[in-house]
Amino acid sequence: MSGGRGDAITFPELDGEYEVLRVVSRGTFSTVYLARLRAHPDRHVALKRVMRTSAPERTANEVECLIMAGGRCNVCPILHANRFEDQVTLVLQYFPHDDFKDYFDVMTLDEIQAYMWSLFEALECVHSLGIIHRDVKPSNFLYNRDAGRFQLIDFGLAQQVSTLREKGDRRAANPGGPRVPLGAVDRAGTRGFRAPEVLLLVKHQTVAIDIWSAGAILLCIITGRYPFFQSADDMTAIAEMAAIFGSTRLREAAASLNRSISLPERIPARSWRDLRQFLDGGSRDDLPDTLFDLLDRCLEPKPGSRITAAEALKHPFFNT
């Protein structure tokens, strides 16, 4: 039914207030529909119907995160949350947008700057509220090219975090900063956008995992390859990263997280600029060094050394 009309879909929890038009997307935990208000047919909303099998605490957490961050700095606003028996539906602002696949490899430098600035602005807001999004990827950061507007969506995997300051806890990627409580998460995110610490199942994950994902999006944009990291399993994904960062840097990153990985002794590191030229034949020469520096700081394998969203907003790339 994906992409089809939604006339047969009923939402008793919404008391007939909306007319469902079509399915927008289907995910593991929910289905999103485009709908319009019956009383005002020109007003459209997104109805996110949560699967009945989804844990109630997950849904409650998503709603709370959206109430905290929604409507601020390119973050999707929540309009209502409705429940009927065991069925929960979130009423969200509908955001018309372009498909990432249609524009990611033809973006101008100005567009790249606007896109990444807006993403970091959204992440800085979310992180400042003690929230890790945990599933940053192109389909969750929407771009309306005609309007030049952006929106961060889908907080279904988001985690509110406490500030823990245990001294000497080497598992913490960023001691003293927001991080998920022990045992709360492991494999967050989507294949191709998971940080090394997620792949290595480090329990104490921080907002740095979102920054890695933002860097992975930028890497897709400048190389024209989406997703850039394409391995099907976690250990192969680590090896794929080693082919870029080199085996020494990956081993050091793993060791900083109290993990060990098995890699060939000598895998040399590659520069981002050389990698891009290899992949696209050097078809673009308008990308400044500051872009590659920002990329390198986002895709820093050691999460404790990774740039923050607030720092990224001050990066020279945005003054180029």
Question: Known catalytic residue: 233?
Answer: no
pLDDT at 283: 65
Mean pLDDT of 173-187: 48
| Cβ partners under 8 Å of residue 60, min gap 6 | none
> What is residue 52's predicted lDDT score, i.e. its pLDDT?
85
Q: Which of 7, 110, 135, 280 is catalytic?
A: 135
Q: Of 71, 93, 115, which one is at a domain's C-terminal end?
A: 93
pLDDT for the residue numbered 188: 73
Question: Do 52 and 131 belong together in one domain?
Answer: no
For residues 123 and 281, what is the distance between their CA atoms, to the nearest angstrom?
33
Where among 43, 75, 93 does a domain terminate?
Answer: 93
Please give the residue range of the domain that contains residue 28.
12-93
Same domain, 217 and 278: yes
Q: What is the pLDDT of residue 265?
A: 77
Same domain, 213 and 83: no
Q: Is residue 1 part of a domain?
A: no
Residue 211: is it exposed, middle or buried by C-beta count within 10 angstroms (0-12/13-18/19+)?
A: buried
Which one, of 268, 133, 275, 278, lies nearest residue 218 by Cα?
275
Domain count across the chain: 2
- Domain containing 181 — which CATH number? 1.10.510.10
| For the chain, percent of residues with pLDDT exceeding 90 | 74
Strand runs labelled E in 105-148: 131-132, 141-144
pLDDT in the model for residue 86: 84
Between residues 86 and 170, the one the model is more confident about: 86
pLDDT 10s digits, 262-309: 888 789 999 998 888 877 766 677 899 999 999 999 999 999 999 999
Share the mean pLDDT of the chain.
Answer: 89
* Domain assignment present for 5: no
What does DSSP assign to residue 66?
H
Which domain-ending residue is among 70, 93, 116? 93
Two tokens, residue 304: 């404790």
Identify the CA nearest to 216 among candidates 280, 282, 141, 162: 141
Q: What is the pLDDT of residue 281?
A: 62
Which of 202-206, 222-226, 280-284 is least confident?
280-284
Least confidently predicted of 23-37, 43-57, 159-173? 159-173
Q: What confidence tens digit (pLDDT) does each residue in 228-271 have?
A: 999 989 989 999 999 999 999 999 999 999 999 988 878 999 99
Does residue 160 belong to any structural domain of this protein? yes
The answer to whether position 42 is within a domain reads: yes
CB 159 within 8 A of CB 129: no
Whether the per-residue pLDDT at 183 is higher than 60: the answer is no
Assess contact for 161 and 131: CB atoms under 8 A: yes
Looking at the structure, do residues 182 and 81 belong to the same domain, yes or no?
Answer: no
**Do residues 127 and 71 both lie within one domain?**
no
